[in-house]
Amino acid sequence: MLEHVTVLKEEAVEQLNIKPDGIYVDMTLGGGGHSSLILSKLTTGHLYSFDQDDYAIGRAREVLDKVGKNYTIVKSNFKFIKSELLKLGVEHIDGVLYDLGVSSFQFDDASRGFSYRLDAPLDMRMNQDQELSAKTIVNEYPVSKLIEIFYKYGEEKFSKPIALKIEKARSIKPIETTFELVDIIKSALPAKVLRQKGHPAKQVFQALRVAVNDELQVFEYSLNDALSMLNKGGRAVVITFQSLEDKIAKHIFKEISTLDIPAGLPMATSNMKAPFTLITRQAMLPSDEEIERNNRSHSAKMRVVEKN
């Protein structure tokens, strides 16, 4: 049975500064690790947890039912936090948590096509009801678009030669599986790169996953909406696993926690405050012990803001 190990579980929930009667949102239910800990701290409060994956929802429900009943699972992309919560009569919340790592349920299930270490049909859809998949992108997108995706979302230095190799391979036959794509990527890279530490396909696979699920745009849109729903004293906690996501969170948090007053404006500022306060000046990182227990946590960064 697939297992999901929650990253920064206690630290993230502690930073939410939970009130027992508060309203909290876990934007990334996954295995229910964060949600179950949040739920355990609520009495008359309520938890809303978002996920698109039927398998994850089923597994998480088993976990949450053992903790409490005052929760609601919302099967939806977290892009729709505001509209989905409004349907449920919720206009304001006391805390929101994002854990942007790929769920182990998805990554370790070969059939989902997320992993470069497991042979499977190319897929990478978090929501299996959507049409766009990694197979579509790899086989149908023009070379120029592939180069853009690999460079922009994967920060892949060899985006062009990889895209050209893909174009040549798919002109012979469609690229169907993860291992076929891995072999093509390897064939495009210099020997010195192949000898380096780390899997040579990691960045391209990351880029494809981000593109398939529109992850960066969805996260930015969702985070702004979530922040607009926070009550005074409410907190937003964001855990990222790659630099592009962290840059979005860092930029938004800096912007909303900075008081922007035009130079020379004659007004008293001593009592003025920015809309939010940064709780974490620097990103919080997993402990050495956590990284040793769960290597996937090594790239995690956590940032926190509080509504003034």
Q: How confident is the model at residue 1 (pLDDT cuts 50, 70, 90)?
A: very low
**pLDDT at residue 189 above 50?**
yes
> If you average pLDDT over residues 121-131, what whole number do you get?
89
Q: What is the pLDDT of residue 262?
A: 62
Give the per-residue pLDDT at 203: 94
CA distances from 233 to 21, 25, 96, 264 (A): 14, 15, 12, 31
Is 70 exceeded by the pLDDT of residue 267?
A: no
Residue 2 has pLDDT above 50, yes or no: no
pLDDT averaged over every residue in the chain: 91
pLDDT in tens, 89-101: 999 999 999 999 7
Q: How confident is the model at residue 272 (pLDDT cuts 50, 70, 90)?
A: confident
pLDDT digits (tens, 9 = 90+) for 151-182: 999 999 999 999 999 999 999 999 999 999 99
pLDDT (tens digit, 9 = 90+) per residue, 215-251? 999 999 999 999 999 999 999 999 999 899 999 999 9
10-14, 111-115, 214-218: the lowest-pLDDT one: 111-115
pLDDT number for residue 85:
98
| Percent above pLDDT 90 for the chain | 75
Q: What does the pLDDT read at residue 270?
A: 55
122 has a pLDDT exceeding 50:
yes
pLDDT band (50, 70, 90) for residue 107: low
What pLDDT digit, counting tens, does each position of 41-75 carry?
Answer: 999 999 999 998 888 899 999 999 999 999 999 99
Highest mean pLDDT among 176-180, 264-268, 288-292: 176-180
3-class DSSP string for the chain = CCCCCCCCHHHHHHHCCCCCCCEEEECCCCCCHHHHHHHHCCCCCEEEEEECCHHHHHHHHHHHHCCCCCEEEEECCHHHHHHHHHHCCCCCEEEEEEECCCCHHHHCCHHHCCCCCCCCECCCCCCCCCCCCHHHHHHHCCHHHHHHHHHHHHCCCCHHHHHHHHHHHHHHCCCCEHHHHHHHHHHHCCHHHHCCCCCCCHHHHHHHHHHHHCHHHHHHHHHHHHHHHEEEEEEEEEEECCHHHHHHHHHHHHHHCCCCCCCCCCCCCCCCCCCEEECCCCCECCCHHHHHHCHHHHHCEEEEEEEC
Q: What domains can be seen in the chain, in order of their start residue? A: 9-105+215-307 (3.40.50.150), 117-213 (1.10.150.170)
Q: What's the confidence (pLDDT) of residue 76?
A: 94
Return the minimum-mean-pLDDT range out of 21-30, 31-40, 254-263. Answer: 254-263
Whole-structure pTM value: 0.87
